[in-house]
């Protein structure tokens, strides 16, 4: 508590000398100012917030009542004691009614005066504390209100992203930016769309995004896995029969997603071509064709042109469906692995109620070094498992199943059965990656930052790749020096 500050106002010089002496003698640490008129008092009050003010009522010029009114206007929380002459009880009552906290009769009883002034100072201190608490509460309420507004805005933005058909592509990736642009261009067009990409890259999610962004969004989105049923059953599954509607009829007005379409038997592919060209299907055993208004989106884990050359997919069907092709890059070629991993950790943390919000640097290196044959689906499953095992931070030990899994050298030796197709592809991709990095470093004279910019990847990923492939980046700097 700061030392109290008191102002005494009176036109009597003797009283202005006696009262401060009496106060300071009995109330140590008190600061006392004096004023010999109301005008002088108002000047002091304008620049100083006093703990209490003592003023005479009868003064030349502006009297005590006028001064009290000014005090109440300027400093409403400052207690004021009024000095009245002997027998002027009516004036004392008037002073109390106008807001004075007490009155003192002349001749002033110094004990009473000190006790009354002490009460006034205490009252002022309590008033100040209450006011400070109120201000603190108001500030806290404002802070809480701002926090609620910010959280509401964040939740609204997050909800918009969650509800966005393209939420699975909301990542800082140049490859995905091109895919998003393609989807936006084609979504509301009538074009039939082909989606290519390895298993787990999100082909069905892309198809759903296209459907949601199209004018057909309020109608059905029907999925059929073309490789999940026997050849004898797939035809009725798609086109229906005398008892049941097929997927074409169920997708009326909406979108039919034909997943792994290259697995369809060739005769069924021909029927599909007729249905798409004529806008009608004829269920097996039925004599009457059924008109359908369906947009077809087809997907394959094998590039369509390869499937055509291999004889697995009709050239005519490919040409009819090939109005617009979207190719999804495999996860190992993307530059947003850590971004996706953090998103999946956040998602799993909420779902499992686990306080896990960070991926350690060593764990991040494992994620960047894995080949991800299962692509985004595999990454999501890995991060969900790691979130369940971790306690706050995902460490390398929580990703133990991935350690060393990037190694994909070709098998050799007399007992080897020969490399698999996947091993050949992985080895070829690794060699191409190594050569691309070496060429970039050579062109940039060993400058990793410039090489990363040329390869459109971040410095951290490039540094890891250089280390992984055993490339001596310093050698390229020496070439520059020579």
Q: Find the mean pLDDT for residues 280-309.
A: 85
Nearest CA to 297 among 239, 257, 269, 264? 257
Which residues is 240 bridged to in the sheet? 245
What band does 86 get if pLDDT is binned at 50, 70 and 90? low
**What dihedral do alpha carbons 38, 44, 45, 48 form, nearest 10°?**
-160
Residue 156 predicted with pLDDT over 70: no
Confidence (pLDDT) at 287: 75
DSSP E strand boundaries for 86-167:
102-105
Confidence (pLDDT) at 245: 86
Confidence (pLDDT) at 129: 86
Count CB atoms within 10 A of the CB of residue 62: 15
With 0-12 CB in 10 A as exposed, 13-18 as middle and 19+ as buried, what is 33?
middle
DSSP 200: T
Taking the model in full, what pTM does it have? 0.50
Across 197-235, b (16+ Cβ under 10 Å) vs e yields: bbebbbbbbbbbbbbbbbebeebebbbbbbeeeeeeebb
Confidence (pLDDT) at 432: 72
Count CB atoms within 10 A of the CB of residue 67: 26
pLDDT in tens, 330-369: 888 888 888 888 888 888 887 788 777 789 999 998 898 8
What band does 416 get if pLDDT is binned at 50, 70 and 90? very low
What band does 479 get if pLDDT is binned at 50, 70 and 90? low
Q: Find the mean pLDDT for residues 265-279.
A: 88
Mean pLDDT of the chain: 82
Question: 28 vs 306, which has greater pLDDT?
Answer: 306
Residue 291 predicted with pLDDT over 80: yes
∠ at Cα 50 (104, 2), nearest 5°?
Answer: 115
Question: 80 vs 411, which has greater pLDDT?
Answer: 80
């Amino acid at each position: 508590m700061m030392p109290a500050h008191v102002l005494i106002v009176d036109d009597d010089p003797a009283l202005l000398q006696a009262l401060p002496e009496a106060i300071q003698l009995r109330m140590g640490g008190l600061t006392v100012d004096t004023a010999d008129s109301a005008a002088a008092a108002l000047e002091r009050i304008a620049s100083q917030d006093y703990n209490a003010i003592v003023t005479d009522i009868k003064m030349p010029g502006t009297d005590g009542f006028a001064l009290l009114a000014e005090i109440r206007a300027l400093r409403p929380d400052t207690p004021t004691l009024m000095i009245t002459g002997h027998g002027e009880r009516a004036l004392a009552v008037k002073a109390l009614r106008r807001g004075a906290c007490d009155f003192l009769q002349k001749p002033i009883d110094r004990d009473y005066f000190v006790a009354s002034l002490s009460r006034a100072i205490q009252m002022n201190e309590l008033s100040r504390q209450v006011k400070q608490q109120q201000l603190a509460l108001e500030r806290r309420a404002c802070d809480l209100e701002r926090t609620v507004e910010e959280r509401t805005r964040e939740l609204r933005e997050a909800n918009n992203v969650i509800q966005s058909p393209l939420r699975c592509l909301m990542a800082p990736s140049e490859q995905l930016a091109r895919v998003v642009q393609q989807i936006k261009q084609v979504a509301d067009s009538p074009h039939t769309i082909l989606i290519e990409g390895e298993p787990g890259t999100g082909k069905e999610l892309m198809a759903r995004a296209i459907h949601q962004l199209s004018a057909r969004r309020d109608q059905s989105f029907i999925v059929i896995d073309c490789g999940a049923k026997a050849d004898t059953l797939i035809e009725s599954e798609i086109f229906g029969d005398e008892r049941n509607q097929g997927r074409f009829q169920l997708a009326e007005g909406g979108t039919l997603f034909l997943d792994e379409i290259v697995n369809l038997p060739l005769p069924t592919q021909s029927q599909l071509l007729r249905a798409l060209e004529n806008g009608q299907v004829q269920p097996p055993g039925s004599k009457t064709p059924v008109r359908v208004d369906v947009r077809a989106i087809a997907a394959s884990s094998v590039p369509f042109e390869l499937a055509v050359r291999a004889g697995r997919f009709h050239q005519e069907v490919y040409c009819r469906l090939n109005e617009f092709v979207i190719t999804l890059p495999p996860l190992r070629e993307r530059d947003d692995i850590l971004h996706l991993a953090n998103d999946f950790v956040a998602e799993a943390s909420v779902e499992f109620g686990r306080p896990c919000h960070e991926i350690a640097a060593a764990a991040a290196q494992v994620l960047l070094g894995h080949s991800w044959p299962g692509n985004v689906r595999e990454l999501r499953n890995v991060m969900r498992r790691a979130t369940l095992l971790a306690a706050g931070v995902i460490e390398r030990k929580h990703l133990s199943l991935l350690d060393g899994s990037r190694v994909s050298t070709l098998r050799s030796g007399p007992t080897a059965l020969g490399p698999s197709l996947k091993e050949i592809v992985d080895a070829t991709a690794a060699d191409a990656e190594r050569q691309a990095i070496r060429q970039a470093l050579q062109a940039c004279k060993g400058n990793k930052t410039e090489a990363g910019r040329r390869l459109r990847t971040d410095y951290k990923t490039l540094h890891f790749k250089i280390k992984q492939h055993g490339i001596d980046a310093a050698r390229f700097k020496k070439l520059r020096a020579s």
